[in-house]
Amino acid sequence: MQKFQDARVMAVFEACPPGVRGRLMALRELVFDTAARTAGVGRLSETLKWGQASYLTAESGSGTTVRALGHCIALALAHRLRKRTGSRKT
């Protein structure tokens, strides 16, 4: 498992419900593994942008910031809130 580079990013993941957190951690690992296997990408930098876990190609400067996990986390937290309040609206 890839160690968190930023404590703020770790806190966002830890705020997720355990069942969702496991799936998001697997997706996070996939991001790092894919970058490591893709020529020209280099080392990724993990940070928090707009409250979302973000991945940048810090070493090569290729590509663009990936924030897909942030949307997954936001959806997971919204689902958690709906369960607490009993609301079915999104």
Indicate if the pLDDT at residue 30 is higher than 70: yes
Torsion of CA 51, 58, 13, 8, to 10 degrees: -60
Classified as helix, coil or strand, 67 is: coil
Q: What is the structure's pLDDT at 7?
A: 94
Percent of the chain with pLDDT over 90: 13
Mean pLDDT estimate for the chain: 80
- Which comes out higher in pLDDT, residue 30 or 70? 30
Provide φ and ψ at 56, rounded to 5°: -120, 150
Summarised one tens digit per residue, pLDDT across range 42-85 is: 888 998 888 888 888 887 877 777 776 666 666 666 666 666 66
